[in-house]
Structure 1
Amino acid sequence: MSIMSGFCQISPAGLCVYSNEQTSSITGYSSEEMLGMGWVKAIHPEDRHRVVAKWKKCNANRDTLGTSFRLLRKDGEVVWVIGQIAPFLAEDHRVLGYIATLSDVTGRKKAEKALQLSAERFSKAFNASPSMMAIYRLADDRFVDANNSLLEAAGYSRAEFVGRTVTDLPFWVEEKTRNSITGLLQGKEAVHNLEGRFLTKTGEVRIGLVSAEVIELNSEPCMFVAINDITEQKRAEAAIEVERRRLFTVLHNLPANIALVEQDYSVRFANNYFCESFGESSGKYCYEALYGRKTPCEACRIDKIFQERVSCKWEQVHNGRPYQLYGYPIHDIDGTPLALTMSIDISELKQLKEEMLRLDRLNLIGEMAAGIGHEIRNPMTTVRGFLQFLGAKKACAGYKDFFDLMIEELDRANAIITEYLSLAKNKNIELKEQNLNFIVKSLFPIIQADAMLADKYVALVLGDIPALPLDEKEIRQLILNLARNGLEAMVPGGTLTIRTYNDADKVVLEVQDKGQGIAPDALKKLGTPFFTTKDKGTGLGLAVCYSIATRHKAKIEVKTDSGGSIFVVQFQRKSPVAPQMN
């Protein structure tokens, strides 16, 4: 008998007549206090009836009673014991007394209770979890349990699922998923968030993140599998990706330089227009892709977009061309904060504004010219007439040289007024179908004579161009003004080239000189009335050319460098007449 067990002898009447020290240790009563005590008194009231009933039954059959019950110690503490009571019989089977043993199993009972509570908690958590969970034995791959979430998602009843093996139940779409789990766990590793596809009872394929670990259940190694269904998440991601691609398709085809820039200035996306303008830029820093810089641009507003989450607008110059930039704060589908930047080349817009400003000035001066030009000419004509009259008189013959000089200056003033009147916006013009080449050829002798006097040359390069609605007098004046400006810009020996050709829907007239080019400051003021770089110029020649071009709905562009200048006049071709349908 183990010394850890209590031992006592009980009389036929149920009173203790002997107990050892271990009994005292278990009950809290000394051996003296135990003498004469009824053994039933120490049993916990809630267990007393059950134990006494069992004892009576065993006693009637002269059997040994063995059971566990709670015992009340002297200090009121409750302990669990396993008690055995065996009758001590005489030869005639009379009961002479009883021998009882007690073993304290409180620690084991607490462990069992804790284990039971743990099992209950696991069971509740297992079945209440929104994640799909299942357990199968590794020995035969047979499912021993599945929670409600898995059964509902897969469409099986518990009877249809539990008890079947992994192989005969069509659950994993790919065998490699199950093999991957088994292979990892054989290496004593847990599996976390392995993406796999599984089948429902109806054959629907769903996607889950699978985690698995080997556990021991009823002393058997089992596989615990948890699955988070991410099917809807995957569908949402796919739908977002479709929208993202659609957005990128739209961005790719917009006629503006568009880029998505991260907070560190790296380009996450650049559209086709951007790449055509600046080259492939994805993965580069924006300042590197655009300007070849190693540091961000001083005027950049991207920092402000990220820090203040506001849209911005600014201007920058690239390769001498101005760009209007717009920046907007956005988030990519992965949550990354981005700046959507859009840059537009505004060179033509600025030129157009300058052209509109110049035309406004021309119109203002034209209106003034129309209003006062005739009023000035009338008295000038009268003065000129009297000067001629006096110059013819013998009495004034000594002043004839002075009269001739005054008449010459009046004629020069009249010529300036004539040019001045040419600026009038509402000047009447007479348009007739004629070929620009014909007008150029008719002027060639005059231009060539001017060139020969200055030891310069003129070359004609005339293309096959269609007729245009032109006012011959005005076009002659435009060509003469441009040609004479070109000749005056060259040193002796230079060649002036007059060229005509077709360019898409336009007929182009070019007048090219071999001078020293036009200074940038002067280039901005070209066509402004009374602006001139010549010592004796009036500043009206080019202004008249621009007015004539405007009345013909033509456009003048200037190309210049140190090798000379080209004045390009673009006339719009007549739209072809659509064929009549019968």
Structure 2
Amino acid sequence: MGSLARVKKYWESKRWTSFLESTAAGLQLNLTLIIQYGNDFSRSFHHPPYCPACRTPIADINLPDIIISIKSQNEIVELDINGAKLVVAPLGGDPCHGNLYVVAGELTCCKKAAHPTLLERAVLAQKLLTSFRHALNEGFEGGRLSLQLSALRQVKNIVLSLFNGEENILAQVFDLILSALIILSDAQGSWIEYGTAEVSGGLLIKGDEQRVKNHIASHAGHADTAEISNGENRVRLGVFAPADGKQTQDLLNLMAQECTLVLEIDHLFKLLHKQLPMILGAVGSAVVLVSKDGIITYVNHAAELLLGGKAPNLIGEPADAAPGPWSACIQEKTSRRVSGHMDNLIQKQELRWVNWQVSPLLDDEQIAGWLVLVDDRTDHHNWQEAARRAERLAVTAALAGSLAHELRNPLGAAKGMLQLIGRKEKPEQVKGYADLILREIDRVTNLLNEFLLLGRPAEMTTEPLDLAAFLQEITPLLKSEANNYEADIFIKTEEIPMINADPGQFTQAVLNLVRNALDAAGRRGRVLLNLSKSGNNVILTIKDNGPGLSAKVSGNLFKPFFTTKERGTGLGLPVAQAIVHNHGGNITIENAPGGGAICQVTLPFYARQDGKTTDIDVLVTVADNLLRYPSEQALRTAGFSVISAADLSEALLLKERYCPAVLIADKIISEPQNIEIISRTWPQAKTFAIAEDEHFHEHFIEANVFQIVTKPLDYVRLIGQVRKALNEI
């Protein structure tokens, strides 16, 4: 017999090929064994010969291609031969028995996605086969046995992760363990009996099946066994005709423990597979699983209700079959978790409000799909909306009551004086009544003007304003106010850029703030006005040396009609705030370090038309004053830079000066030509469309707007949506 034929026969022994088959099945690999003896190569073992699922024959490898890779480098190498992925790994050898190589490929026909990768499983096969090749050649000792058991345990864990509770998991794992026992014990056969105390699970035999059966039935021949129980699981493991009884017994005890662990894990996997649909079905949130190819693979009952379809009609369909605010994340194949709060979902012409989250499912750092969780918050939104309506009614009633109270006093006084005049008694006493009546009427007029300013912006005539020069100009007015309190007022300025302001309105705002500070400082108090700049803003601070703000006062400062003064109207600070907001600024009042209170007014620099534009957060283009103005105020109060326009033509006048990140528009976007103008003028802006009804919803979706906002506006939600949009830029 030639040398290569002799070596090939050695490596084709029944024990070795049986172990190779078990390894191939356990790791879901197509394995081929290559023998090298001298300069000669031969293909020895090839398993499986056909696909275990569909029985399609698996083609042999092309030996010359493999030989080239073996000769070029004696290490693990990945190959791509005619589209087939292969891994070639050396198993070592010796002069007597030659060198061995294993070629690992995927079971491509009817293949399921496997974890770990082909290379990782090929490396495990190399470790295991190299270790057991030594046992086959030289027997084993304690240190080498530990290595072999460690390698076997690794493969066993991989097999468990590959099958995850499928019906053949026990056969796959136990087949591998029984094959290993035959080699490590130099035995003729092995078997395992497993089950619970009440139920016998099964019997698996490896090696000389007939002699093992005879031994089990009548104890014919010598065998070593080990029996172990772990909870309900019972395992009896046996080796027939081992070469070394003592070492075999130690090995059996170790392997029996491994087998009970396998049974326990298998039970957990099967329980999980059985219970998972039940668990997800009981979850209140809608659960949708989407594959990496964008196909819906699972929906629970809550998802059926929310998405308006039955599972059989949704599973297997593209993710677009269940559209929602999360759809863009899946289309873009997001690799990070993305969520949305109180977003719109339209199903069967019905508007729903949802919180949602899309999480990528990663397999070895590669996206395997996405988990979509959706909570239907429509009822919660409706409850909140009802509460807000009730709150608005309460506020309206409170404002109306406060205004009526404030108007009643001067009107009552004027009425009384008119009655006295009408009686024509004591003419000398009623001569001055006309002046008093005019004064009370002026008081009513001023009160109404201030109140109206809170509800809508007055027309402004803005101009570039040097705030330092402006303060010097109104100093006599400020000192006159201070004289009423016998207080001192100081003004400190520095050279700063101009602002864009209406001098008349801004005078009213500064006077209101200074009066408030003087009233807080009291008799012989001190008020300091300081002008400075920070970034692209002018900062005006007004500090007093009064007692400071209590918690109650601090929380109500800008609330209309809230006052701590005996004869105050409670409109001074709200009016000042409205004027500052109308100028694109912001205002805060808080306790100052060291005592007293400090008011800070922040205003943007004047934007000159020098070819440069100023980046701003929001442009509000809404025709309805009662909608535009509150939106401006809410967004400015939240800290956004905001400008506004009543229509598109007015907004276009601002294009040379401002570049908005977000555009909020109403019906102007319903005209196709306007959509085109907006896209061309502000291509980077994210457009929010204010919708009236379902018809508008559909139109806005066709216009591809970023966000739809429905009436009546929820300003808290609007602020959150704008902040989210800005964060995404």
- Normalised to the residue count of structure 2, the TM-score between the two structures is 0.35
- Normalised to the residue count of structure 1, the TM-score between the two structures is 0.42
User: Larger helix proportion, structure 1 or 2?
Assistant: 2
